[in-house]
Structure 1
Amino acid sequence: MSSHGASFQTLFKQPKSAWAVAFACIVAFMGIGLVDPILPAIAEKLNATPSQVSLLFTSYMVMTGITMLVTGWVSSRIGPKPTLLFGLLAIIVFAFMGGMSNSVTEIVWYRAGWGLGNAFFISTALAVIVSVASGGTAGAIVLYEAAIGLGMSVGPLLGGLLGGISWRGPFFGVSVLMAIAFLAVFVLLNEVPAPKRRSSISDPLRALTHRGLFTLAATALLYNYGFFTLLAFSPFVLHMDEHSLGFVFFFWGVMLAITSVIIAPLLQRKYGSIPTLNMMLFLLAIVLAVMGFGVESQTTLVVAIVIAGAILGIINTVLTTAVMDVAPVERAVASSAYSFVRFSGGAIAPWLAGKLAEWYSPHVPFYAGAVAVIVSILVLAVGKKVLAHVN
């Protein structure tokens, strides 16, 4: 099957092992959005500024990105299933400890541990789903992106509900759900053979010397800057309670899930991956600019966030598919290399967005996000020749 041949029906024709990993992916990505509705509450309860609270995202993303460099090395030695289980166990422990914390500093450090577990899980999960799912690479990526979309849509809703009780609730909620995911993977996923060749720690860095993979990774870094500016900073300017924020980002995630599974493959088939990326990145830049211009309008921000969810779903699926197509190395190594670079954008954005708002005004973080996304389009243009074979 070509990279665009996955149909919507393929999503539901999967073995139980693929469903087990997909369920764990849902819970893993719930962990990103679950914290979103409680950021203002944490800032209020623990007397912290938005930039300080945003370090919850930064520490998580920094540790996730760095750890990506060694996940392939570990997985190729102990096997994919033990690697998945180790990652899930780490998330269970550190999410629980985050809920027990009494200061922002403690939570930031535990979120870093959470990010470590997340790195071992998500980098291995994509490779495992590709190897066990039906429908080829495209079908596996649709399943993976559907899990991401569902997790990121349900996460804020559950975070808002639990956060309405206590800001600690979402942390404990993730810990419990991850324990369920751990059991599902342990019981339902058969042993997945380790790669025939043991990868070295330097393999992901060497993979980035391939211009096609580096171009897409750099594009993702800049795109993720815009993505996480929206995700981490907008709760502070919406001025809503936990429940309302949960519903806003629930609809954002629903749009992300729908477009990643249904719309993205259609656009890829009709226009190709790179033209689709260019079009969607341009639209995302416009949405971020509108959010900057209309930052005082709650209605403008809510509508823009939901529209952005639709755009982000398409970009996520198309970028991931393109990386799997262009990579000259094993999928696990390609995933580690790509994720190492792209999570850097996610790490920088939350903290810098808060600082830009403190230094200048709430408008500036969104303008900066729009500029970063425009630069990502220029990166794609520069790498046009090395991506010419990407469908």
Structure 2
Amino acid sequence: MKKKYLPLLFLIAFLTMLGFGIIIPILPFFAEKLGATSFQIGILFASYNIMQFLFAPIWGSVSDRIGRKPLIAFGLFGFSITFILFGMAGSYTEMLVYRILGGIVSAAALPTVTAMVADVFPADERAKGMGIIGAGIGLSFVFGPAIGGYLSPFGFAVPFFASGGVAFVTFLIILFALPESLPKEKRTGVAREKQGNLLSVVFGPLSLMYGIMFIVSFAFSGLETTFALYINDLYGFTSKDLGNMFLVMGIISAFVQGGLIGKMVKRLGEPLVLTLGLALYAIGFFAIPLSAHFWTLALTLSLFGAGQGMIRATGTAMITQRTRQGQGITSGAISSMDSLGRILGPLAGGAVYQWYLSGPFILGGVLMVIMLVLFRTRSHQLPERAEG
């Protein structure tokens, strides 16, 4: 059964995030064209993540009751409509409204894909399944911004129309090709016995794992916010240089998640692979202030590419293996922690950068070491794997 799902889930994850990746380099310029200030552009980015944080667990809970396929289809259809409307926006206010609506509806899509992987893959193979999905996401962020850059000369609205079109094609694929993974008999049990809310899930027995997912997102989004400024202020590197560095990182991340995670987990187990991922992140953060050339910086970013593959796939697998909640709300909670990190990380990174240029990277390295120590000393307290 899983062989039937996996190529489709990979394609859905890739296409979903490809549409998102296409607009990343364009949105600030489009908003600026309509008179938005830098602060208002920041609000556009933050509002989307805030909606993701709030609504991912809600949609996840709904998917536990009615099934995965309707929620994924709803999310992609809403993604398509809101991005097309965004491309037609004639004012900042319209942009903000469509951005908020986009965050709400798209929160139903990708976390539910993760829940579907948890439905289909048994516990001992789940990290491999999560890795394949992560590879699709990683590749989308390799190709998406490049596509957006090529489309932007035709008008800032064109990449948004393209994103909406990609989302609609993905919606059709889901509608006609994707089987449902949660049988009706399992939905009733989940709805009556296993439902929780975001706080009860995150601060429950798996709080350590959710904390790791949050801190990793928090630290890395702080790096994403300040790295371009850092390499330009100190070494004069351009946005093109930055794009090439992140291209290297994205390719390595996709390779690790899609090709190596399953083999690594089979040989070493999820906890050790997660430990290695945190260690690579820590080394990467501390190495940035010591790097001064294009290739040393690119190599340093590649540590994050490899580490990201290890952390995301194994962390998600370990949570879904051990949860006593429904997989939908569990995947939604994971997505919320990622979104919360992407809300707070840029604020902290920007503030620390003003104080000390290397500060965001040193802070990230320290946080990784703390998470590494906590995980190695407290992982034995995690719940045992649930059946399945």
* TM-score of the pair, normalised by structure 2: 0.82
Q: Where do 5+ consecutive residues of structure 1 fail to align?
A: 1-9
Shift of the 104–301 alpha-carbon distance from structure 1 to 2, 3 Å rule, reads farther
Q: Deviations over 1:133-191 (max 9, x none)?
A: 69953453233223222223222332332345554443232211101101110111234
- What code does the residue aligned with 1:307 have? L
**Whole-Å separation in 2 of the counterparts to 1:299 and 1:99:** 37
1:339 aligns with 2:327: no
Q: Deviations over 1:273-332 (max 9, x none)?
A: 2232223212212212333455x7555443322332122112111111111222123322
**Whole-Å separation in 2 of the counterparts to 1:384 and 1:336:** 22
Alignment of 1:1-391 (within 5 A): 14-15=3-4, 18-38=6-26, 41=29, 48-49=37-38, 53-101=41-89, 107-132=95-120, 137-163=126-152, 165-192=154-181, 193-194=183-184, 195-197=187-189, 198=191, 202-211=196-205, 213-238=206-231, 245-292=242-289, 294=291, 299-357=295-353, 359-387=354-382
Is the Cα contact below 8 Å between 2:130 and 2:316 reproduced in 1? yes
**Whole-Å separation in 2 of the counterparts to 1:315 and 1:182:** 29
Is the Cα contact below 8 Å between 2:131 and 2:261 reproduced in 1? no
Shift of the 246–146 alpha-carbon distance from structure 1 to 2, 3 Å rule, reads same
State the shift of 1:217 in Å: 0.4
Shift of the 37–297 alpha-carbon distance from structure 1 to 2, 3 Å rule, reads farther
**Whole-Å separation in 1 of the counterparts to 2:89 and 2:367:** 34
**Whole-Å separation in 1 of the counterparts to 2:323 and 2:42:** 33
Shift of the 274–151 alpha-carbon distance from structure 1 to 2, 3 Å rule, reads same
Shift of the 265–136 alpha-carbon distance from structure 1 to 2, 3 Å rule, reads closer
Is the Cα contact below 8 Å between 2:83 and 2:163 reproduced in 1? yes
- What code does the residue aligned with 1:150 have? L
Give the stretch that moved more between structures: 334-343 or 232-241: 232-241
Shift of the 163–252 alpha-carbon distance from structure 1 to 2, 3 Å rule, reads farther
SS at match of 2:107: helix
Give the stretch that moved more between structures: 276-285 or 107-116: 107-116
- What code does the residue aligned with 2:381 have? V
Is the Cα contact below 8 Å between 2:63 and 2:112 reproduced in 1? yes
Shift of the 110–352 alpha-carbon distance from structure 1 to 2, 3 Å rule, reads farther
Shift of the 253–383 alpha-carbon distance from structure 1 to 2, 3 Å rule, reads same
SS at match of 1:329: coil
Q: Percent identity?
A: 24
Is the Cα contact below 8 Å between 2:83 and 2:160 reproduced in 1? yes
Q: Deviations over 1:42-68 (max 9, x none)?
A: 68755644x654444432222112112
SS at match of 1:304: helix
The residue aligned with 1:3 is none
**Whole-Å separation in 2 of the counterparts to 1:55 and 1:366:** 24
SS at match of 1:27: helix
**Whole-Å separation in 2 of the counterparts to 1:34 and 1:352:** 26
Shift of the 297–140 alpha-carbon distance from structure 1 to 2, 3 Å rule, reads closer
- What code does the residue aligned with 2:227 have? S
Give the stretch that moved more between structures: 101-110 or 251-260: 101-110
Is the Cα contact below 8 Å between 1:160 and 1:246 reproduced in 2? no
Shift of the 103–251 alpha-carbon distance from structure 1 to 2, 3 Å rule, reads farther
Q: Could you say what the CA RMSD is over the residues aligned between the two structures, in angstroms? A: 3.4
State the shift of 1:255 in Å: 0.9
Give the stretch that moved more between structures: 305-314 or 70-79: 70-79
State the shift of 1:101 in Å: 4.1
State the shift of 1:256 in Å: 0.8
Is the Cα contact below 8 Å between 2:195 and 2:329 reproduced in 1? no
Is the Cα contact below 8 Å between 1:38 and 1:163 reproduced in 2? yes
State the shift of 1:77 in Å: 4.1
State the shift of 1:121 in Å: 0.6
Q: How many residues were matched structurally?
A: 375
State the shift of 1:85 in Å: 1.2
SS at match of 1:120: coil
Q: Deviations over 1:84-131 (max 9, x none)?
A: 111112211222233334666654553333222232111211222343
Is the Cα contact below 8 Å between 1:91 and 1:175 reproduced in 2? yes
